[in-house]
Amino acid sequence: MPTDDRLRIAETFASLQGEGGLAGVPSFFVRTTGCNLRCEWCDTPYTSWDPEGTWQSIEELVAAVPSGMRHVVVTGGEPMLWSNLPRLTAELRARGCHVTIETAGTIYRDLTCDLMSVSPKLANSDPGPARPASVRDDHRARRTDRDVLRRLIETYSCQLKFVVAAPGDLDEIESLLAEFPRVLPETVMLMPLGTTRQELAERGPWLAALCRERGFRFSPRLHIELWGDRRGT
């Protein structure tokens, strides 16, 4: 089987979209493995810190979409690493699927999709002091690419999602957004950092209040609230 017909996939599953503007929508998830970043709080380390997965063809992935399920989310890891991603999204669209791409916004590709869900990484994602200095430095250098962000925003229908750990993160977010005046506040979604219900419950109220004050949208993390931090959800 030609390599350019395959992607390395960590998992595929049907669930509800847990985040962003389509939260709650039944969706089929295709999670690629491999990532160019190393977020300290990554909730899918099996796609980044310790990538795993099996090779699957584009035909197999398209055929795996359950009958009657229209929404497909291609996520990772970082799916934009894959040069054949445009072929996958084109095949999914040809099948009649609504396609969302989840990306950190550091890589640009020309492809067809209905929603580019961009999650720029803030300083709160930087690897901690226990990590090798080379890993910390590489992540900091890669995590924000303003030229790529600008191209994505100008080319695609985008939502921007930010993971917020503390109120001070809002200053970093607003500083970045000031460089992109075309981005409407209602397309900017803030979600609390957390991989447990307790963490979300602790950060959610003050983050919701900040969203109300500053005009941003609050994004839940339904998959954690409903099922906890586990794979296949």
CA distance 38 to 53: 18
CA distance 223 to 108: 28
- Two tokens, residue 55: 């090779």
Q: Where are the domains of the chain?
A: 3-227
pLDDT tens for 9-29 read: 999 999 999 999 999 999 999
Express the helix, strand and coil content of the chain in percent, nearest 5 each. Answer: 35, 20, 40
Half-sphere exposure (Cβ direction) of 42: Cα atoms closer than 13 Å: 24
- What CATH class does 3-227 carry? alpha beta
- Two tokens, residue 162: 């930010």
pLDDT tens for 81-122 read: 999 999 999 999 999 999 999 999 999 999 999 999 999 999
pLDDT at residue 1, as a whole number = 36
**Cα Rg of the chain (Å, integer):** 17
Pairing of β 71-75 and β 6-16: unpaired
